[in-house]
Structure formats: structure tokens, C-alpha cells
Homo-oligomer: A and B are copies of this chain.
Amino acid sequence: MKIGIVGFGNLGKAVLSLAQKNSNMEVVGVFSRRKIEDCNVPCYSIDDAKKFKGKIDVMFMCGGSERDLKVQTPKLANYFNVIDSFDTHALTLEHIDDVSKACSKSSTSAVICCGWDPGLFSVMRTMYSSVFENIECFWGKGISLGHTNAIKKVDGVVDAKQYTVPNKKAVALAKNGNPVTIEKHFRLCYVVANKDKTEIANQIRNIPNYFKGQTTIIKFISQKELDKKHNTSMHQGNIFASTKDSNNTFTSHFEVKMTSNPSFTAKILLAYANAVMKMQEQKIFTALTPVSIPPIWLLNQPEEEVIKHLL
């Protein structure tokens, strides 16, 4: 599989590192708006990407959701099969529509909204909804890539880290199959700023879909302190599902834990590359999200083998 990578932030770097260790993959190039220094494969301007049409099987779109993927994924789906990790829930239907149009016009395939949430968690929520009545998701304690990027794009922010922290009392309620009526999380932001802090804090609190309406604690610290104390991209997530029927109780729990969020997300994107190839094989020229992907498409294995060893 010949792959390209668009965007060379944390996720792009993680995809590159994993793809280079994968004997089934060949990295054709990294594409970015910026000039890239620290890269051991050919690097190009994103404007030159279309010249590689026919030379790349799957393009990994590794930018941020709102500023990058919203525009780049539909654009590049005109030339390539694409995978992205779009995670702005409120804009998802619109994004699916935009990418699908490009795919159907250009006979390309896309899997979008990949990662662990959206992604694995979306699959779990969907399966759980078919069987359980109560489903509660918790994120963290951990760094949210999407929320951290959203802060970084605020004017005057030099650097930032955002921890999503679950409320322990809410977790206890969900674990015991009780309705969760209290706030489930708070958002803890460490921000390095070079401008008016009150204005920056105000802007962060009002970023729609990410912070607006949520308990958000903002702490301004120095770059040195951020680098020293918050040099992590750990994360975790939990889903608790339950149903009580006359005499019976059914519960389920799903947990993921990672020391690096971008590396874990990259692992999942690589798995969904197999799904994209399967879509091409079956001439499915549209954009699908993980909830519409048969699990078996994630594996580059004959169906018989999967059934023998995994069913």
C-alpha cells in the first residue's frame, strides 16, 4: 500500500513512524503547508499533492478538524482515497456530505471520523445502543488532541495542553448502572500566552463545540513549566453500558488507555486503511464513518482466516 501523509503535527508524525515499521506500506511523501525540516521521507507542499494522483493508494489526512480537515479532506478526495480523524461532532454530517460528493465524482473511497473517539467509541456506542438502555462515556484523565489544537489556534496562545478529567462521582454512578445527573467532566487547560490573558481565557471558554457551556479551568503557565510538567499525550476512555430487565441485569464496560493519544489514533487510522482498500475493491465510492464499516474490513486477511481464528 502506497501512502501519503497530509499534515505533519503529532498525528502526522505518528502515522509516518508506524507506516515505516509496517512492511505492507510504502510512504510516498509528506505534504504540508509549512516547510518541513525533521522528516526522513520526501516532503512536498500540499498544493503539489494532486500531482501524485495514481501514485498514492491512501492519503492520511492528519490536520486539525475545523481549520484543516473540513476543507482538505473533501479537496483531496478528488484525487485520492482518504482517511481522516475529523472530530467536530456538530459538523460531522456536513463533512460526510462534502467528502462523499468528491468521492462519488472521482471514484475514490474515504473513511472519516476515525480514531478512538470518534471511531472505536462510535462503534461501541452503536453496538451498545442495540442491546443496552443506559450508555455513559467518560474521557480522561488525559490530553485531548482536538481541544488542545482548538486552544492553540486562539490568537496570542503560544502553546497549550488540555486535560479532560472525569468527575469521579459521575463515574461511580455509571458503573453501578445509575443515571448520571451531574456534570461528567471538567476541562483543565494549561496555556502559554503572549497577549492579554483575560481576553484569551474568554476566547477559549467560548470556542463552540469544544469548551462553550462546559466547566473549564484555565491556568496560564510558562513554556518551561508546560514542557517540564505536561510533556505527555496520555489519554483514556471508558464506556459503561447497562440494562435492567424484570429479574435480570446486564452490564458491559469498554476501556482504552494509552500513553500517547496521537500514536494510538495513528494505529487506528492505519487499520482503517485496509477498510478504504476494501471499499475500492467493492467500488464503494463514498465517505463512510467507522459505524458503517464491517469489522472484518479492518484486517488485511482472507475472510476464512478471520472466521477460523477470531470468530
Instruction: Please give, as numbers and ranges, the residues of chain B lying within 8 Å of A156 by CB-CB distance.
Output: none
Given contacts A268-B131, A291-B294, A296-B291, contact A306 B248 (CB under 8 A): no
- CA–CA, A253 to B248, complex, Å? 23
Task: Name the segment of A64-72, A74-82, A121-129, A213-221 touching the other chain.
Answer: A121-129
> Do A311 and B291 form a contact, CB below 8 Å, given A253-B253, A259-B247?
yes
Any chain B CB within 8 A of the CB of A169? no
Q: Give the complex CA separation of A159 and B255 in angstroms.
A: 38
A48 to chain B, nearest CB (A): 31
User: How many of A's residues come within 8 Å of B, CB to CB?
Assistant: 54
Which residues from chain B contact A130 at a C-beta distance below 8 Å? Answer: 268, 271, 274, 298-299
Interface: A107 (CB within 8 A): no
- In the assembled complex, A146 has its CB within 8 A of some CB on chain B: no
**Which of B96, B120, B292, B310 makes the CB contact (< 8 A) with A122?**
B310
Chain A interface residues (CB < 8 Å from chain B): 89, 92-93, 96, 113, 118, 120, 122-123, 125-127, 129-131, 243, 245, 247-260, 263-264, 267-268, 271, 274, 289-296, 298-299, 303-304, 306-308, 310-311
